[in-house]
Protein backbone atom coordinates (compact mmCIF):
# COMPACT_ATOMS: atom_id res chain seq x y z
CA UNK A 1 0.00 0.00 0.00
CA UNK A 2 1.58 3.28 -1.10
CA UNK A 3 1.38 6.04 1.48
CA UNK A 4 2.31 9.68 1.62
CA UNK A 5 4.68 10.05 4.53
CA UNK A 6 5.99 13.38 5.76
CA UNK A 7 9.22 13.27 7.73
CA UNK A 8 9.92 16.37 9.77
CA UNK A 9 13.58 16.87 10.69
CA UNK A 10 13.24 19.27 13.60
CA UNK A 11 14.89 22.68 13.90
CA UNK A 12 17.20 24.04 11.17
CA UNK A 13 18.64 27.35 10.01
CA UNK A 14 19.01 29.83 12.85
CA UNK A 15 17.52 27.20 15.21
CA UNK A 16 20.13 24.44 15.60
CA UNK A 17 18.08 22.69 18.28
CA UNK A 18 20.08 21.18 21.12
CA UNK A 19 23.86 21.18 20.81
CA UNK A 20 25.93 18.36 22.29
CA UNK A 21 29.01 18.67 24.53
CA UNK A 22 31.35 18.48 21.52
CA UNK A 23 29.24 20.78 19.32
CA UNK A 24 27.08 18.29 17.40
CA UNK A 25 23.88 20.05 16.32
CA UNK A 26 20.49 18.37 16.60
CA UNK A 27 19.33 19.98 13.34
CA UNK A 28 22.15 18.27 11.43
CA UNK A 29 21.62 14.83 12.97
CA UNK A 30 17.88 14.73 12.39
CA UNK A 31 18.14 15.98 8.80
CA UNK A 32 20.57 13.18 8.04
CA UNK A 33 18.30 10.55 9.65
CA UNK A 34 15.28 11.89 7.74
CA UNK A 35 17.16 11.79 4.42
CA UNK A 36 18.22 8.20 5.08
CA UNK A 37 14.65 7.21 5.96
CA UNK A 38 13.30 8.96 2.86
CA UNK A 39 15.55 6.81 0.67
CA UNK A 40 14.09 3.70 2.30
CA UNK A 41 10.50 4.89 1.92
CA UNK A 42 11.03 5.88 -1.71
CA UNK A 43 12.66 2.51 -2.48
CA UNK A 44 9.70 0.83 -0.75
CA UNK A 45 7.25 2.51 -3.10
CA UNK A 46 5.98 5.25 -0.79
CA UNK A 47 5.80 8.97 -1.51
CA UNK A 48 8.02 10.42 1.21
CA UNK A 49 8.49 14.17 1.65
CA UNK A 50 10.62 16.18 4.07
CA UNK A 51 9.46 19.39 5.71
CA UNK A 52 12.99 20.65 5.11
CA UNK A 53 15.80 19.22 3.00
CA UNK A 54 18.48 21.76 3.87
CA UNK A 55 19.74 23.63 6.90
CA UNK A 56 16.82 26.05 6.76
CA UNK A 57 14.41 27.34 9.36
CA UNK A 58 10.80 26.23 8.87
CA UNK A 59 8.09 27.33 11.32
CA UNK A 60 6.11 24.71 13.21
CA UNK A 61 2.92 25.93 11.53
CA UNK A 62 4.48 25.60 8.08
CA UNK A 63 5.59 22.04 8.83
CA UNK A 64 2.07 20.96 9.80
CA UNK A 65 0.44 22.92 6.96
CA UNK A 66 2.76 21.22 4.46
CA UNK A 67 1.65 17.76 5.61
CA UNK A 68 -2.01 18.80 5.71
CA UNK A 69 -1.90 20.23 2.15
CA UNK A 70 -0.33 17.01 0.86
CA UNK A 71 -3.03 14.93 2.51
CA UNK A 72 -0.29 12.85 4.12
CA UNK A 73 -1.14 9.52 5.66
CA UNK A 74 1.45 9.90 8.41
CA UNK A 75 3.69 12.58 9.92
CA UNK A 76 6.90 11.69 11.79
CA UNK A 77 8.88 14.46 13.48
CA UNK A 78 12.48 13.50 14.27
CA UNK A 79 14.44 15.05 17.14
CA UNK A 80 17.25 14.53 19.62
CA UNK A 81 16.52 15.04 23.28
CA UNK A 82 18.49 17.21 25.72
CA UNK A 83 18.51 17.76 29.46
CA UNK A 84 20.42 19.75 32.04
CA UNK A 85 21.57 16.48 33.55
CA UNK A 86 24.33 15.11 31.35
CA UNK A 87 23.36 11.63 32.62
CA UNK A 88 19.90 11.63 30.99
CA UNK A 89 19.72 9.00 28.26
CA UNK A 90 17.35 6.94 26.19
CA UNK A 91 14.70 7.05 23.51
CA UNK A 92 11.10 8.23 23.74
CA UNK A 93 8.24 8.68 21.29
CA UNK A 94 5.37 11.15 21.62
CA UNK A 95 1.88 11.19 20.14
CA UNK A 96 -1.11 13.50 20.37
CA UNK A 97 -3.15 12.72 23.47
CA UNK A 98 -6.40 10.98 22.58
CA UNK A 99 -5.20 9.70 19.19
CA UNK A 100 -5.53 5.91 19.27
CA UNK A 101 -3.79 5.58 15.91
CA UNK A 102 -1.04 7.96 17.05
CA UNK A 103 -0.53 5.83 20.14
CA UNK A 104 -0.37 2.70 17.99
CA UNK A 105 2.26 4.22 15.70
CA UNK A 106 4.22 5.61 18.66
CA UNK A 107 4.28 2.15 20.25
CA UNK A 108 5.58 0.55 17.05
CA UNK A 109 8.12 3.31 16.47
CA UNK A 110 9.43 3.13 20.03
CA UNK A 111 9.70 -0.66 19.81
CA UNK A 112 11.63 -0.58 16.54
CA UNK A 113 13.94 2.20 17.74
CA UNK A 114 14.76 0.21 20.89
CA UNK A 115 15.41 -2.97 18.90
CA UNK A 116 17.61 -1.26 16.32
CA UNK A 117 19.38 1.38 18.39
CA UNK A 118 19.64 -0.29 21.79
CA UNK A 119 18.92 2.78 23.90
CA UNK A 120 17.15 2.94 27.27
CA UNK A 121 13.35 2.83 26.97
CA UNK A 122 11.90 6.14 28.16
CA UNK A 123 8.49 5.05 26.87
CA UNK A 124 5.76 6.47 24.74
CA UNK A 125 4.16 9.67 25.94
CA UNK A 126 1.00 11.60 25.15
CA UNK A 127 0.85 15.38 24.89
CA UNK A 128 -1.35 18.17 23.62
CA UNK A 129 1.41 20.76 23.72
CA UNK A 130 3.60 19.86 20.69
CA UNK A 131 2.47 22.10 17.85
CA UNK A 132 3.28 19.67 15.03
CA UNK A 133 1.27 16.91 16.69
CA UNK A 134 -1.64 19.21 17.49
CA UNK A 135 -1.84 20.90 14.06
CA UNK A 136 -1.52 17.90 11.76
CA UNK A 137 -4.74 16.28 10.55
CA UNK A 138 -3.19 12.84 10.08
CA UNK A 139 -1.69 10.47 12.65
CA UNK A 140 1.56 11.96 13.89
CA UNK A 141 4.41 11.04 16.19
CA UNK A 142 7.51 12.82 17.43
CA UNK A 143 10.58 10.72 18.17
CA UNK A 144 13.44 11.69 20.45
CA UNK A 145 16.23 9.43 19.20
CA UNK A 146 18.70 9.91 22.06
CA UNK A 147 20.05 12.63 24.36
CA UNK A 148 22.51 14.77 22.43
CA UNK A 149 23.37 16.40 25.79
CA UNK A 150 24.79 13.06 27.03
CA UNK A 151 28.37 12.61 25.82
CA UNK A 152 27.94 8.88 25.12
CA UNK A 153 24.71 9.34 23.23
CA UNK A 154 26.12 12.31 21.34
CA UNK A 155 28.95 9.99 20.26
CA UNK A 156 26.41 7.51 18.88
CA UNK A 157 24.37 10.26 17.17
CA UNK A 158 27.53 11.44 15.42
CA UNK A 159 28.01 8.10 13.64
CA UNK A 160 26.45 7.05 10.34
CA UNK A 161 25.76 3.54 11.60
CA UNK A 162 23.52 4.77 14.40
CA UNK A 163 21.75 7.21 12.10
CA UNK A 164 21.12 4.45 9.57
CA UNK A 165 19.71 2.18 12.27
CA UNK A 166 17.38 4.96 13.41
CA UNK A 167 16.19 5.50 9.83
CA UNK A 168 15.55 1.78 9.37
CA UNK A 169 13.63 1.69 12.66
CA UNK A 170 11.31 4.49 11.54
CA UNK A 171 10.83 2.80 8.17
CA UNK A 172 10.11 -0.60 9.73
CA UNK A 173 7.63 0.86 12.23
CA UNK A 174 5.67 2.66 9.52
CA UNK A 175 5.57 -0.43 7.31
CA UNK A 176 4.40 -2.59 10.20
CA UNK A 177 1.65 -0.07 10.96
CA UNK A 178 0.62 0.02 7.29
CA UNK A 179 0.37 -3.78 7.20
CA UNK A 180 -1.66 -3.93 10.41
CA UNK A 181 -3.98 -1.07 9.44
CA UNK A 182 -4.63 -2.55 5.97
CA UNK A 183 -6.13 -5.71 7.50
Question: Which entry of 92, 103, 144, 153 is annotated as an active-site residue?
Answer: 144
Phi, psi at residue 13, to the nearest 5°?
Answer: 60, -130
Cα–Cα separations (whole angstroms), residue 140 to 67, 68, 83, 130, 174 = 10, 11, 24, 11, 11
Q: Are 36 and 164 in contact (CB under 8 A)?
A: yes
Residue of 50, 47, 142, 64 lying closest to 103 (CA atoms) = 142
Q: Which residues, 6 or more positions from 108, have their beta carbon under 8 angstroms from its beta carbon?
A: 173, 174, 176, 177
Q: Are 18 and 26 in contact (CB under 8 A)?
A: yes
For residues 33 and 76, give the distance between their C-alpha atoms in angstroms, rounded to a whole number: 12
The answer to whether 92 is a known catalytic residue is no
What residues are annotated to the active site? Answer: 144
Amino acid sequence: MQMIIVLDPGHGGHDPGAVGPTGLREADVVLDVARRARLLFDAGGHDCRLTRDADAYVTLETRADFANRLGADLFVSIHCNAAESRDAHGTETWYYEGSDVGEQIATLTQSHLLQRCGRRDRGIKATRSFSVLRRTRMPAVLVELAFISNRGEEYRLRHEGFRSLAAVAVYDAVNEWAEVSAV
